[in-house]
Amino acid sequence: MQKLEENYDLEAYLSEYVETCPDKEIRILNAAINAFADKGFEATRTREIAERAGIAEGTIFRYFPNKNAILESMVPLLIRVLQPKIGKPIEDILNLNPDMPIDQILIAVLKDRLQMIHDNGRFIKSVLPSLIHRAPLLEQLRQSLLPLIEGYVVQVVERGKARGELDESVDARLVMAQLFGFVLAYRITQSADPEREARDVKQFVESLMVGWRKQ
């Protein structure tokens, strides 16, 4: 399984939020991210979060009425962390490499997505498993991120069709599902090996292109 970074530092990603947020609240959220990533939401106690944050357990309840409220605050923060990481790298790939073949674009996008998940693995792991039984929070995440991802996939697919590299029957929604599924499954099941990852991504895209190329 992919090894996560040793500790997640919320302040490194949310400077604007940190400037307007009490220091102890940030410490609680950061401690919760790492505790949930290590032990899972259900198994983590507020006492353990307090110990990681270096505060008294009672201080947590000045900012959050219960553990669920901490998780609810983490979802919009995760969205804020991931939104720019989803958009700008793909924009750069498309805008800086206008003549790049579609298969090479897809390879570059997949490599970037895998790296993004690795870099933010603890935050993602701390939130996503806990949302399975919390439909409103999961829907909040879905509505905020999936349309953004789909928009960029549509751009890639339409570019491929316009250049005659992809068949007109290729459906952007299915392309997104296949790419998204690969990224999640690969990051969960494979160990960190950059050379192997590069080969696997290339082989995966090549296999997809067999069915997607214009006949």
The pTM of the full predicted model, rounded to 2 decimals, is: 0.81
Provide the 10 A C-beta neighbour count for residue 141.
Answer: 17
Residue 4 lies in a domain: no
Residue 1 lies in a domain: no
175, 157 contact by CB (below 8 A):
yes
Residue 62 lies in a domain: yes
CA angle 18, 21, 25 (to 5 degrees): 100
Structure tokens at 35: 């505790």
Between CA 164 and CA 214 the distance in angstroms is 6
The identity of residue 97, as a single letter, is N
Chain mean position to CA 137: 15
In total, how many domains does the chain have? 1
CA-based R_g, the chain, Å: 20
Question: What are the residue ranges in the chain where pLDDT is below 50?
Answer: 1-5
Q: Residue 183's domain spans which residues?
A: 10-212
pLDDT score recorded for residue 198: 92
Between CA 193 and CA 190 the distance in angstroms is 8
Between CA 87 and CA 153 the distance in angstroms is 11
Residue 198 lies in a domain: yes
5, 122 contact by CB (below 8 A):
yes
Residue 3 lies in a domain: no
Residue 2 lies in a domain: no
Between CA 188 and CA 9 the distance in angstroms is 22
Between CA 215 and CA 213 the distance in angstroms is 6
pLDDT score recorded for residue 97: 83
CATH for 39:
1.10.357.10
Residue 207 lies in a domain: yes
pLDDT score recorded for residue 100: 92
Residue 90 lies in a domain: yes
